């Protein structure tokens, strides 16, 4: 009897090893993509929070109707921030909404609230 492996055994071992390495490489790439998307969504959420806080810091009477959009470049990627201030469901309420969308993909982050304003009496 000969010592060692046959050619077929060697081919099977190489096929199993290469399949395992391909699966590991695919997992690593998937983890990198997931990490980048997570960082982009986190940056979008932080920007949305900052923009909403800026709007809320203004006095309620100063919240005029506006709809602005701005492109912001951060370390994690490019984001599009849209701020909308409009009349709310009641006369003394203003609706403030901030939507930030990562251009690298992923769902937009949308934060909104209602702000009570004092209307001047005639």
- The CATH number of residue 93's host domain is 3.30.1300.30
26 φψ region: left (φ > 0), alpha (ψ -120 to 50), beta (else): alpha
Is the confidence at residue 1, as pLDDT, over 60?
A: no
Structural domain contains residue 77: yes
Asked if the structure places residue 108 within a domain, the reply is yes
User: Per residue in 9-49, pLDDT tens?
Assistant: 999 999 999 999 999 999 999 999 999 888 889 999 999 99
Q: In a 3-state reduction of DSSP, which class is residue 23?
A: helix
On whether residue 86 sits in a domain, the answer given is: yes
In the predicted model, what is the mean pLDDT of the chain?
89
Does the residue 81 lie in any domain? Answer: yes
Determine the Cα–Cα distance for residues 51 and 57; give it in Å rounded to an integer.
Answer: 10
* Domain residue limits at 17: 7-116
CB-based contact 115:61 (threshold 8 Å): no
Structural domain includes residue 26 = yes
pLDDT bucket at 59, cuts 50 / 70 / 90: low
| Domains: count for the chain | 1
Higher pLDDT, 92 or 60: 92
Per the domain annotation, does 18 fall within a domain? yes
CA distance 19 to 25: 10
Note the pTM of the prediction, 2 decimals.
0.74
Residue 2: enclosing H or E segment and its boundaries? none
Q: Does the residue 104 lie in any domain?
A: yes
């Amino acid at each position: 009897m000969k010592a060692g492996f046959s050619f077929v055994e060697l081919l099977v071992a190489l096929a199993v090893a290469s399949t395992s390495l391909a699966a590991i490489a695919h997992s690593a790439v998937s983890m990198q993509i997931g990490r980048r998307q997570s960082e982009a969504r986190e940056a979008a959420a932080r920007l949305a929070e900052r923009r909403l806080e800026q709007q809320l810091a203004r006095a309620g009477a100063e919240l005029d109707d506006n709809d602005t959009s701005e492109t912001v470049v951060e370390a994690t990627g490019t984001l599009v921030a849209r701020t909308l201030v409009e009349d709310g469901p009641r006369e003394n309420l203003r609706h403030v909404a901030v939507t930030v969308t990562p251009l690298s993909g992923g769902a937009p982050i949308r934060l909104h609230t209602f702000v009570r304003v004092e209307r001047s009496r005639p």
